[in-house]
């Protein structure tokens, strides 16, 4: 791809980075995805990491605008709720050595009480609102960190972050009970029952973890059912804590990961009316919101 893009969009998420070369009328000229195991590059190495992805898209004739979201390690001034998810007039300029770059970062959003933060999710929300300008309700985004975001009048009113996916991964892959937990597979009955337990008896979750391991060792449970039970307990516990976000609310569960289906199933079992949205374009739509109104030349 030798034609110079008008601007470049960058989503630097916890486990992957995606870059898009954007042409006239926001046409995507080229795209690169790369997986990472760490949560983003060091700030010191950010410019060279960026150049490794996009240098062939740059021209020596002028600085190409680069709009980034995510970048959890970059200390930008945070914006505070309530606020619109992305404000194109509050992007943060990142100093660079390379004159071909003009990098702006979408700042993360913080909440004071209860303390919470997001770096990147605000851009997905902006993308969602670009597609659904009139939306009022709650978006749930499952994943390693699952987030519940209450939106009203185009602003993020409040949000809550849960480590559910990360806890599942730690217990399934790096703990003393890992040998009893399958890497994948789903036993629906075990999952449903565990969600109900996690919701109604949240304290019992900590008591059930080692018990799952013992059940597998003594032959009462298979490793797929153990994984399904573990997922269900953790998701049930999260749903219990996040109840104000879904009870009687207009809820959209957004995501493409396996967990998304599990959240939808669990919420429907609880009688919640839930819409399922699997979109690959939210990050890019959010980055467009930041660029289109931005006065970057």
Give the footprint of its own copies on this chain (CB under 8 A): 14, 39, 78, 110-112, 114-117, 144-145, 160-164, 166-167, 170-171, 174-177, 202-215, 217-218, 220-221, 234, 237-238, 240-242
Nearer to its own copies, 96 or 211 (CB): 211
- Burial classification of residue 174, based on how many CB atoms lie within 10 Å of its CB (0-12 exposed, 13-18 middle, 19 or more buried): exposed
Minimum distance, C-beta of residue 163 to its own copies, in the bound complex (Å): 5
Question: Using the 8-state DSSP alphabet, how is residue 178 labeled?
Answer: G
CB closer to its own copies out of 24 and 203: 203
Rg over alpha carbons for the chain, rounded to the nearest Å, is 21
- The least CB distance from residue 14 to its own copies, in Å, is 7
Dihedral pair phi/psi, residue 162, rounded to 5°: -120, 145
Q: How far is the CB of 283 from its own copies (least distance, A)?
A: 19
CA 235 – CA 228 distance, rounded (Å)? 10
Contact 66, 54 (CB under 8 A): yes
Where b means 16+ CB within 10 Å and e means fewer, 122-142 reads bbbbbbbbbeeeebebbbbbb
Residue 95 or 114: the one with the smaller Cβ distance to its own copies is 114
3-state secondary structure 131-158: HCCCCCEEEEECCCCEEEEEEECCEEEE
Which residues are paired to 68 by β-bridges?
10, 105
Given the complex with its own copies, which of 19 and 149 has the nearer CB atom?
Answer: 149
Could you tell me the smallest distance in angstroms from the CB atom of residue 295 to its own copies? Answer: 29
Q: Least distance from C-beta 47 to its own copies, angstroms?
A: 22
Is the Cβ of residue 85 or residue 165 nearer to its own copies in the bound state?
A: 165
Q: How far is the CB of 51 from its own copies (least distance, A)?
A: 26
Residue 177 CA to residue 201 CA, distance in Å, equals 21
Which C-beta is closer to its own copies: that of 59 or that of 204?
204
């Amino acid at each position: 791809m030798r034609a110079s893009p008008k601007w470049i969009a960058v989503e630097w998420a916890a486990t992957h980075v995606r870059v898009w070369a954007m042409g006239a009328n926001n046409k995507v000229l080229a795209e690169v995805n790369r997986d990472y195991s760490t949560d983003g590059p060091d700030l010191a190495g950010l410019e060279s990491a960026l150049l490794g992805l996009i240098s062939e898209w740059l021209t020596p004739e002028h600085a190409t605008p680069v709009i980034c979201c995510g970048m959890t390690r970059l200390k930008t001034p945070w914006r505070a709720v309530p606020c619109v998810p992305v404000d194109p007039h509050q992007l943060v300029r990142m100093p660079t050595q390379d004159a071909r770059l003009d990098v702006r970062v979408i700042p993360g959003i913080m909440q004071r009480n209860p303390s919470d933060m997001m770096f990147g999710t605000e851009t997905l929300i902006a993308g969602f609102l670009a597609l659904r300008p009139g939306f009022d309700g709650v978006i749930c985004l499952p994943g390693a960190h699952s987030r519940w975001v209450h939106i009203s009048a185009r602003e993020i009113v409040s949000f809550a972050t849960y480590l559910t996916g990360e806890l599942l991964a730690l217990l399934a892959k790096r703990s003393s009970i890992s040998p009893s937990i399958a890497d994948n597979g789903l036993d629906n009955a075990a999952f449903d029952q565990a969600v109900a337990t996690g919701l109604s008896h949240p304290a019992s979750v900590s008591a059930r973890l080692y018990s799952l391991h013992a059940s597998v060792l003594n032959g009462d449970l298979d490793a797929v059912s153990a994984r399904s039970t573990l997922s269900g307990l953790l998701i049930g516990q999260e749903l219990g804590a996040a109840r104000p976000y879904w009870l009687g609310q207009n809820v959209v569960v957004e995501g493409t990961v396996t967990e998304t289906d599990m959240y939808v199933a669990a919420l429907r079992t609880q009688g919640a009316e839930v819409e399922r949205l699997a979109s690959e374009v939210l990050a890019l739509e959010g980055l467009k919101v930041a660029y289109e109104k931005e006065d970057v030349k």
